[in-house]
Amino acid sequence: MNNAPASPPVGAAASVESRWASPEMRARIRRRYGAERRFKAVGLIAVLMSVGFLAFLLGTMAWSGLSGFSQTRVALPVDFRGSGLSIDASSMTKAEAMAALNQQGLGDLLQLSATSAYGAQGESYFGTAAKESAAAAIYDDPSMLQRQVELALPATSPIDVAAKGEGDAASEAAVARLEAAGKLSSGLDTTFLSSADATDPTVAGIWGALKGSLLTMLVTLALAFPVGVLAAVYLEEYAPKNRLTDIIEVSINNLAAVPSIIFGLLALALFINAFGLCQGSPLVGGLTLALMTMPVIVIAGRNAIKAVPPSIRDAALGVGASRVQVVFHHVLPLALPGILTGTIIGMARALGETAPLLLVGMRAFVGGTPDGLCSSATVLPMQIFLWSDEVDRGFVENTSTAIIVLLIVLLSMNAAAIILRNRFEKRW
């Protein structure tokens, strides 16, 4: 310190000290610390807002969608004696029995019972869902055809919506009357997860869309995974440094950033117009999504392969493995958890994708489950989109419920990816 040339004189040091204590200095420090606190608070607010948006989004969907798992039922006394309905439960399958009952005029009987129980407007309380439910009940217990029973049957959409608090005035009044008479009950809507799309929201379900999604994802996985992994292996392990490799790398990085709707245009021009593949089918949808998912898998795969230390390769080469053996016997197994994580994330993205599928004809109404790769089908996000366009309030609820199902599937896929990464990925 002695030979420091700029050591300040004693008097100056004292004045600095006094200035630190001076009111202006304190005010300035207060101001600076205030700014610090404010800045930190702004950061916290930003984080809380982002998390809050997420919570609000999920909360809104859960709030309006959970009621879709329940259905409103109205009690209906039916006298089957003398109705002429008969089934042979021992020899008929459920579908046959239900068809036979329909043909024998079950619907008319129900409408008749409804008018005699609830007056002229009673007809409007029961629809297709009630008929199916009654037929199923008769199949389970054919002896009821010989007596008078009171069945709790699913109500039509206006009544259902009104019972959940969002209906129009007339239905609200009807619901209030039924409520007062103790005729209303609610139960688990089992048809929602097991039936396909329909024009009546109380009958419509998501099984058709779920199966379509499953088939589409199978095609996507079967194409994108092998091609993606092989391309990643080539680029990371074998590709010579030349112009072709550069072009491949540039196109993979660009494809990962191309808007999804462009893939839809490509699929329309290539698969449907040029190759004439079946329009609106899981095959074409899966091909389109495979083109989109492949770059994601290549990029994830390259990172996973890059993370395998060179010592593994050197050791394998040292004991006489060929270059192909090094990769397929040693590098690839070690990189597999990382590759699978990337694949699951890519597949989750493909599962939630709608836009390109709009263009390849998957937006048609499909009132049945797809039974093959070439039959016309819809997928879960597309079903959500189609339902969100419907005017009927019953479909709004269905949309939210379908969104809950989609989000549960996607979140569990992402959770699986995270678990896989944490459990199996080695840090070298």
Give yes or no for residue 403 binding other proteins (CB under 8 A). yes
Which SS3 state, helix, strand or coil, does residue 4 take?
A: coil
Q: How far is the CB of 18 from other proteins (least distance, A)?
A: 18
Q: What are phi and psi of 200, to 5 degrees?
A: -100, 120
Give yes or no for residue 8 binding other proteins (CB under 8 A). no
Strand partners, 150: 77
Q: How far is the CB of 178 from other proteins (least distance, A)?
A: 28
Distance CA 413, CA 406 (A): 11
**Residue 259 corresponds to which tokens in the numbers above?**
């808007």
Distance CA 313, CA 190 (A): 55
Give yes or no for residue 329 binding other proteins (CB under 8 A). no
Give yes or no for residue 206 binding other proteins (CB under 8 A). no
Give yes or no for residue 388 binding other proteins (CB under 8 A). yes
Q: How far is the CB of 180 from other proteins (least distance, A)?
A: 32
Give yes or no for residue 262 binding other proteins (CB under 8 A). yes
Instruction: Please choose, out of 99-107, 136-144, 206-214, 256-264, the segment that lies near other proteins by the rule CB under 8 A.
Output: 256-264
Token pair 């239905």 is found at 171
Which SS3 state, helix, strand or coil, does residue 53 take?
A: helix
Categorise residue 364: left if φ over 0, alpha if ψ from -120 to 50, beta otherwise.
beta
Give yes or no for residue 272 binding other proteins (CB under 8 A). no
For other proteins, which residue of 12, 16, 25, 54 counts as binding (CB under 8 A)?
A: 54
Nearer to other proteins, 152 or 235 (CB): 235
Nearer to other proteins, 30 or 426 (CB): 30
Give yes or no for residue 66 binding other proteins (CB under 8 A). no
For other proteins, which residue of 97, 152, 209, 233 counts as binding (CB under 8 A)?
A: 233
Give yes or no for residue 112 binding other proteins (CB under 8 A). no
For other proteins, which residue of 161, 298, 340, 405 counts as binding (CB under 8 A)?
A: 298
Contact 323, 260 (CB under 8 A): no
**Residue 172 corresponds to which tokens in the numbers above?**
């609200």
State the DSSP H helix or E strand holding residue 76, giving kind and residue range, or none if neither. strand 70-79
Contact 271, 284 (CB under 8 A): yes
Nearer to other proteins, 307 or 355 (CB): 355
Give yes or no for residue 408 binding other proteins (CB under 8 A). no
Q: How far is the CB of 149 from other proteins (least distance, A)?
A: 40
Distance CA 382, CA 380 (A): 5
- What Rg, from alpha-carbon coordinates, does the chain have? 33
Nearer to other proteins, 36 or 96 (CB): 36
Helical residues (DSSP H) of 141-242, grouped into ranges: 157-163, 169-180, 191-194, 207-233
Q: How far is the CB of 71 from other proteins (least distance, A)?
A: 22
Give yes or no for residue 176 binding other proteins (CB under 8 A). no
Give yes or no for residue 16 binding other proteins (CB under 8 A). no
Instruction: Please choose, out of 16-24, 164-172, 294-302, 303-311, the segment that lies near other proteins by the rule CB under 8 A.
Output: 294-302
Give yes or no for residue 365 binding other proteins (CB under 8 A). no
Q: How far is the CB of 10 from other proteins (least distance, A)?
A: 23
Buried b (16+ CB within 10 A) or exposed e, 294-313: bbbbbbbbbbbbeebeeeeb
Nearer to other proteins, 70 or 260 (CB): 260
Give yes or no for residue 238 binding other proteins (CB under 8 A). yes
Mention every residue, 6+ apart, whose C-beta is less than 8 A from residue 224. Answer: 289, 290, 291, 293, 294, 297, 343, 346
For other proteins, which residue of 89, 100, 266, 317 counts as binding (CB under 8 A)?
A: 266
**Residue 290 corresponds to which tokens in the numbers above?**
């495979």
